[in-house]
């Protein structure tokens, strides 16, 4: 708390600045201190006429100040210096709630059952009123506009990606159902490592090194997937024949519609 040019502490500004440094709004201060929002605003604006009796003001200053890391007693002293005599003259101060709550020696504490029921009933009524009126004076914090839009865009993109993947799988399945079963022939033109898979998971040649001049024949499959290490082969699928020569690992797919290169499927077979 920094005094102004006259040596006085600006009570309201000190409270407001401390609250903002902690990144809190009035609602959060109300929740933590149990001081009503309109009284918190009155303290920050030094609107003493809106506040209840001076004893309450002093209690509010101690509670609010301590909660935001200020010296509550210093705030109370400043309030007394500036407004004490005028505030006390405006009317008698209510009894200090802390002193009122003390018991005489030997006195048994009063039963809290009725008080708890009354508090619960009051909370229920308050919640009903808030639901009817649309909440308290302070609106709930809104998500920053840019972050909200980015979040929605990411969600929309994920949904679009899922839909595209589902369409791709559906097309592939429909295409597989339309394909005719064909024979396949593989003839190495050099020493080459080969993985040949029928359908999606049946390994016909499981990562074997084939020598030039060898010949492998297979029949009656709808689709073949061929993965080659560096080397060359002649690949015949149905009526389509292709010479495949690769300098590094590559994958191909063949069916009744032809032979085409696909994304490399990795070293595992299948």
182-221 tens-digit pLDDT: 899 999 999 989 998 897 678 889 888 898 988 998 878 9
**Would 156 be classed as within a structural domain?**
no
**Would 249 be classed as within a structural domain?**
yes
Residue 208 lies in domain? 178-262
**Would 132 be classed as within a structural domain?**
no
Q: Tell whether the model's pLDDT for residue 4 goes beyond 60.
A: no
Residues β-bridged to residue 185: 217, 236
**Would 149 be classed as within a structural domain?**
no
Is residue 235 within 8 Å of 259, Cβ to Cβ? Answer: yes
Last residue of a domain, one of 47, 82, 100: 100
Per DSSP, the residues of 117-163 read HHHHHHHHHHHHHHHHHTS-SSPPPPPPHHHHHHHHHHHHHHHHHHH
**Would 2 be classed as within a structural domain?**
no
What is the enclosing helix (H) or strand (E) of 84? helix 72-89
What domain count does the chain have? 2
**Would 155 be classed as within a structural domain?**
no
Quote the CA–CA distance of 20 and 103 in Å, as a whole number.
Answer: 39
Residues β-bridged to residue 232: 245
**Would 110 be classed as within a structural domain?**
no
Q: Are strands 223-228 and 250-255 parallel, antiparallel or unpaired?
A: antiparallel
CB atoms within 10 A of CB 188: 21
CATH of residue 82: 1.10.260.40
Report if pTM > 0.75: no
Look at the alpha carbons of 143, 148, 151, 156 in this order and tell me if their dihedral is positive or negative: positive
Last residue of a domain, one of 84, 100, 116: 100
Question: What DSSP designation does 110 have?
Answer: P
**Would 82 be classed as within a structural domain?**
yes
Question: What DSSP designation does 138 have?
Answer: S
> Which candidate, 37, 40, 34, 48, places its Cα nearest to that of 16?
40
Q: Are strands 240-246 and 216-221 parallel, antiparallel or unpaired?
A: unpaired
Q: Percent of the chain beyond pLDDT 90?
A: 49
Q: What's the half-sphere exposure (Cβ side, CA atoms, 13 Å) at 148?
A: 5
Is residue 22 within 8 Å of 68, Cβ to Cβ? Answer: yes
Angle, CA of 41, 47 and 51, to the nearest 5°: 80
pLDDT at 57: 94
Lowest mean per-residue pLDDT among 66-75, 80-89, 256-265: 80-89
Quote the CA–CA distance of 156 and 12 in Å, as a whole number.
Answer: 46
| Alpha carbon distance, N-terminus to C-terminus of the chain | 72
Last residue of a domain, one of 100, 121, 155: 100
pLDDT, tens digit, 9 for 90 and up, residues 214-244:
899 887 898 989 898 899 999 999 899 999 9
């Amino acid at each position: 708390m920094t005094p102004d040019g006259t040596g006085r502490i600006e009570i309201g500004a000190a409270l407001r600045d401390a609250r903002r440094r902690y990144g809190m709004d009035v609602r959060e201060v109300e929740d933590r201190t149990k001081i009503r929002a309109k009284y918190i605003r009155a303290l920050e604006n030094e609107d003493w006429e809106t506040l209840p009796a001076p004893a309450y003001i002093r209690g509010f200053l101690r509670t609010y100040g301590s909660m935001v890391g200020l010296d509550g007693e210093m705030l109370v002293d400043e309030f007394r210096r500036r407004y004490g005599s005028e505030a006390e003259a405006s009317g008698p101060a209510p009894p200090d709630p802390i002193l009122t709550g003390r018991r005489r020696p030997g006195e048994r504490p009063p039963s809290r059952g009725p008080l708890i029921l009354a508090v619960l009933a009051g909370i229920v009524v308050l919640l009903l009123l808030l639901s009817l009126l649309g909440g308290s004076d302070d609106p709930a914090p809104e998500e920053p506009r840019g972050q909200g839009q980015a979040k929605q865009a990411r969600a929309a993109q994920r949904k679009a990606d899922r839909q595209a993947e589902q369409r791709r799988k559906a097309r592939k399945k429909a295409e597989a159902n339309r394909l005719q079963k064909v024979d396949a022939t593989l003839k190495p033109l050099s020493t080459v490592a080969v993985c040949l898979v029928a359908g999606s998971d049946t390994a016909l040649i499981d990562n074997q090194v084939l020598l030039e001049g060898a010949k492998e024949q297979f029949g009656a499959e709808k689709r073949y997937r061929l993965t080659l290490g560096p080397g060359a082969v002649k690949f015949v699928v149905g009526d389509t024949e292709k010479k495949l020569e690769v300098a590094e690992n590559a994958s191909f797919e063949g069916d009744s519609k032809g032979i085409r290169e696909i994304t490399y499927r990795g070293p595992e077979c299948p």
